[in-house]
Structure 1
């Protein structure tokens, strides 16, 4: 058995294992359309390697060569379909399928050219390069935020496209790709070509598996950190993300503030109008908080009717204004299921991180400021001016003019 034949068998086995891996990811989460397309792509890859391996048994292998080309190009198209689904880009099916048809026809007609013709080799290899660059364009055009793994994937797609484009020249330098299709597997070029295919095919597959598993884990983590009713972070999720935001603000040398809010007389809402109405109050305040928060803010529901939001890049004065604006706006909101003249209010505690503090200290002072706001009659904002002799001092009470309790 030639070295190229041996690598073909390895590629056939690897493609099968990769297809099974992507199918396992798809079965784990039936919503994973990217995994299904990638599994299909590697199944087509298996078919391609099987066809390549069978070429020597055909007296006239030209139709088989054309079929092998179409199957492998179809595999790259399916791979791009998986990329498009993963990166939330509309799959360019019509142009890709039209390209498949046109290039397959072109490969059929160039079979009459001299086998070692550079033009013939380029017609066979360049479509693969084009599909790799289409995949690169799909990832590049994504509206998602690209992480390091995504950028590595783009680099590997570019390198894979370049290696396909260079194969005609590699074949020419190595003395061609065999006197006929049957002799291909005995050529030095076949060994190099199949080896390159193994390296890039495996690299792309492992990267996509890593990216899909990363997304599955991130989704599972997000679900575990999300409060079902409010759709904000729960206490554990808020603490983790808030600590990271505080550390980031400290590293950047910018201020960071914390606002804690507690819904006033919430037990009375439940007792008077029922728990369904209480849930709607929670949902309304959470929705309001999501809309008021910027993309770099971290908001969460940290208790039954208690909420918190961390504000990186915000000092105490600006955080107080944020809290007062939230207090005033929420107090004017109608709540579904409550009488028209009934308005819900909230009390707020605000603190800014000081150099000697950590997140726990910040949380403690904001909570103490909230406690003072509740004792002051509710529907107001209290701010903690900062630690004094190990204790927190709270000052500046902002009360609603209406005098609501």
Structure 2
């Protein structure tokens, strides 16, 4: 068995394993379509390898050679379909399928050219190169944010396209690709070509698998951080995202403020009108916070009826406007399930991050200001203007709660 034959067998086995891997990922991928298209691509890779391996058994190899070309090009098209689904780009099915048909016809007719003709070899390899660059264009055209793996994938797609484009010249330098199709696997070129194909097929598969698994894990993490009732971040998710936001704001020298809100007399709503009505109150307040917040703000439900917002890029005055606006809107909002003349209110505590503070200090001061708002009769906003002031606010609030002020 020649070295090319051995590598071709390896390619067949590897393609099968990769197809199974993508199918396994598809069962855990909410979209599923990207992984399934990738699996289809590597199933076609198995078929291609099997056809290539069988070519020496044919007296007239024209049909299996053309079929192998069409199957492999179809595999690259299926791979591009998976990329398009993954990156939210409309798959260019019509031009790709037209290209498949046109190039397959061209490959059929170039069989009449001399075996070592550069035109004949190019007719095989340049369509593969073109599909790799189409894949690169799909990733490039995506509006999704691209991480390190996505950028590496783009680089590998470009390199893969270049290696396909260079193969006609490699074949010429190595003395051709066999006297006939049956002799192809005995040529030095076949060993080089199949080896390059294995390297790039594995690289592209591992990168796309890594990207799909990354996205699946991100989705699982996101779901674990979301409060199902309000649709906002739960306490754990809020803390993680808020700490990152505060860290970035501190590093960039951007102001950041925190608002903590508590629904007034929420227990009486549940007791008087039932927990379903209480849930609608939670949903209504969460909706107001979501509408008022910008995309870069962090909004969460951190307790039963307690909410928090990190306002990056906002100072104390802007945070107070945010809180007052939400308070007035909530107080005027009719809630389904409550009497028509019934209105709910909320209390707010606000603090702005100071240079010497971290996230926990900011949250503590906002919480202290909230205590003062609750003690001042509720349905109001109270502000902590600084670290020392925040402690004073808390002590005054505690004294009133204890009946001493």
When normalised by structure 2's length, the TM-score is 0.94
Q: Is the 8 A contact 2:384 2:390 kept in 1?
A: no
What is the CA–CA distance in structure 2 between the aligned matches of 1:87 and 1:12, rounded to whole Å? Answer: 28
Q: Is the 8 A contact 2:4 2:186 kept in 1?
A: yes
Q: C-alpha displacement at 1:257, in angstroms?
A: 0.9
What is the CA–CA distance in structure 1 between the aligned matches of 2:293 and 2:162, rounded to whole Å? Answer: 45
Q: Report 1:278-357 matches (<5 A).
A: 278-357=278-357
| Residue number in structure 1 paired with 2:400 | none
Deviation track 1:311-337 (CA, whole Å, cap 9, x = no partner) reads 112211211121112212222222222
What is the CA–CA distance in structure 1 between the aligned matches of 2:332 and 2:88, rounded to whole Å? Answer: 38
What is the CA–CA distance in structure 2 between the aligned matches of 1:390 and 1:383, rounded to whole Å? Answer: 8
| Cα RMSD after superposing both structures | 1.6
Q: C-alpha displacement at 1:27, in angstroms?
A: 2.7
Q: C-alpha displacement at 1:33, in angstroms?
A: 1.5
What is the CA–CA distance in structure 1 between the aligned matches of 2:379 and 2:129, rounded to whole Å? Answer: 64
| Residue number in structure 2 paired with 1:399 | none
Q: Report 1:119-130 matches (<5 A).
A: 119-130=119-130
Q: C-alpha displacement at 1:204, in angstroms?
A: 0.5
| Residue number in structure 1 paired with 2:110 | 110
Deviation track 1:225-259 (CA, whole Å, cap 9, x = no partner) reads 11000111100110111111111111111121111
Which is worse superposed, 132-141 or 365-374?
132-141
When normalised by structure 1's length, the TM-score is 0.94
Q: C-alpha displacement at 1:391, in angstroms?
A: 2.6
1:169 to 1:139, Cα distance in 2 relative to 1, 3 A: same
1:392 to 1:97, Cα distance in 2 relative to 1, 3 A: farther
Is 1:17 matched with 2:17?
yes
What is the CA–CA distance in structure 1 between the aligned matches of 2:332 and 2:161, rounded to whole Å? Answer: 59
Deviation track 1:139-174 (CA, whole Å, cap 9, x = no partner) reads 122232221111111111111111111111221222
- Residue 391 of structure 1 aligns to a residue whose secondary structure is helix
Deviation track 1:252-300 (CA, whole Å, cap 9, x = no partner) reads 1112111111112211221222111111111111122112111111110
The gaps in structure 1 that reach 5 residues or longer are 396-405
What is the CA–CA distance in structure 1 between the aligned matches of 2:105 and 2:239, rounded to whole Å? Answer: 60
Q: Report 1:232-311 matches (<5 A).
A: 232-311=232-311
What is the CA–CA distance in structure 2 between the aligned matches of 1:291 and 1:141, rounded to whole Å? Answer: 30
Q: Is the 8 A contact 2:264 2:345 kept in 1?
A: yes
1:392 to 1:213, Cα distance in 2 relative to 1, 3 A: farther
Deviation track 1:35-87 (CA, whole Å, cap 9, x = no partner) reads 11111110100110111111111111111110000000111111111111111
What is the CA–CA distance in structure 1 between the aligned matches of 2:89 and 2:359, rounded to whole Å? Answer: 39
Aligned length: 395
What is the CA–CA distance in structure 2 between the aligned matches of 1:391 and 1:265, rounded to whole Å? Answer: 25
Q: C-alpha displacement at 1:178, in angstroms?
A: 1.3
| Residue number in structure 1 paired with 2:402 | none
The gaps in structure 2 that reach 5 residues or longer are 396-405
1:392 to 1:200, Cα distance in 2 relative to 1, 3 A: farther
| Residue number in structure 1 paired with 2:228 | 228
Q: Is the 8 A contact 1:62 1:111 kept in 2?
A: yes
Q: C-alpha displacement at 1:186, in angstroms?
A: 1.5
Q: Is the 8 A contact 1:323 1:381 kept in 2?
A: yes
